[in-house]
């Protein structure tokens, strides 16, 4: 099985302040329990601080979980970037990125659902700014891979090509997101076939995108927009 995307060795930060200690405790509880039904008091106990201490850094639980989700995006982006170091061709790098995405999500479904589910969506349909920025940075990795020729030809990352690149990302993301949830919920399996399943789905998807990239309609965004 692949490493959990919340393992301490992979985290892009270290102990050193209370804010990070609380986020780390939340990542641990989320990974262990696979549930967001924990209290800030429990996190304070884990971090070895008073039960009121988390409120010095987080107004409420939603704000804390937004920080946790942002770290999840950072970890997944790091995993995807590391997967592209060895493959030679742009297509192989995009494929490696997709497999890292699926494996990362399946390794910690609760964190993945927090990142991509509706829990953090506000009444105005907006997502927390800290999370949007981290998600956008992860999306930038996929944009770069597509721009470099991951779909058979380079596509300049220009405003004129934004709707085309977003169309490719929408197909890519839809396939990988769906496969991640199907594997995580054991509706597709077995788990030891995850790499092969991802490879097969990915090859079919990339072959289709090489032949035709759907252009998203005017005004459509793909991924959390940076503006609220």
- Quote the pLDDT of residue 2: 40
- Quote the pLDDT of residue 182: 94
Percent share of the chain, pLDDT over 70: 89
Question: pLDDT, tens digit, for every residue of 151-186?
Answer: 989 999 999 999 999 999 999 999 999 999 999 999
Q: Which two tokens stand for residue 178?
A: 């769906």
User: Helical H runs in the chain?
Assistant: 18-33, 40-47, 61-83, 90-107, 109-116, 129-145, 162-184, 194-211
Question: pLDDT, tens digit, for every residue of 207-225?
Answer: 898 889 999 999 888 877 6
- Quote the pLDDT of residue 11: 45
Q: What is the CA radius of gyration of the chain?
A: 18
Count how many Cα atoms sit within 13 Å of the Cα of residue 175 in the half-sphere of its side chain: 21
- Quote the pLDDT of residue 39: 87
- Quote the pLDDT of residue 3: 45
Q: What is the 3-state secondary structure (H, E, C) of 161-210?
A: HHHHHHHHHHHHHHHHHHHHHHHHCCCCCCHHHHHHHHHHHHHHHHHHHH
Indicate the Cα dihedral angle 122, 127, 129, 134, nearest 10°: 160
Q: Indicate the angle between helix axes 90-107 and 109-116, nearest 10 degrees.
A: 110
- Quote the pLDDT of residue 14: 41
The length of the chain in residues reads: 228
Low-confidence residues of the chain: pLDDT under 50: 1-3, 6-16
- Quote the pLDDT of residue 52: 83
Question: pTM for the full model?
Answer: 0.84
- Quote the pLDDT of residue 12: 42
């Amino acid at each position: 099985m692949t490493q959990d995307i919340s393992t301490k060795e992979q985290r892009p930060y270290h102990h050193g302040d209370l804010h990070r200690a609380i986020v780390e405790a939340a990542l641990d509880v989320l990974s262990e329990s696979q549930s967001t039904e924990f209290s800030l008091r429990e996190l304070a106990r884990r971090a070895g601080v008073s039960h009121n201490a988390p409120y010095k850094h987080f107004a409420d639980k939603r704000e804390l979980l937004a920080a946790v989700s942002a770290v999840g995006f950072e970890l997944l982006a790091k995993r995807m970037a590391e997967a592209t170091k060895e493959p030679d061709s742009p297509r192989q790098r995009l494929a490696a990125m997709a497999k890292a995405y699926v494996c990362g999500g399946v390794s910690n479904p609760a964190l993945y659902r927090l990142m991509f589910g509706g829990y953090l969506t506000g009444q105005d349909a907006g997502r927390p700014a800290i999370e949007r920025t981290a998600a956008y940075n992860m999306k930038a990795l996929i944009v770069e891979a597509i721009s470099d020729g991951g779909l058979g030809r380079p596509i300049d990352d220009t405003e004129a090509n934004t709707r085309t690149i977003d169309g490719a990302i929408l197909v890519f993301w839809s396939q990988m997101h769906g496969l991640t949830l199907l594997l995580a919920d054991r509706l597709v399996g077995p788990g030891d076939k995850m790499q092969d399943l991802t490879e097969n789905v990915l090859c079919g998807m990339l072959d289709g995108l090489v032949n035709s990239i759907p252009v998203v309609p005017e005004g459509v965004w793909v991924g959390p927009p940076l503006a609220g």
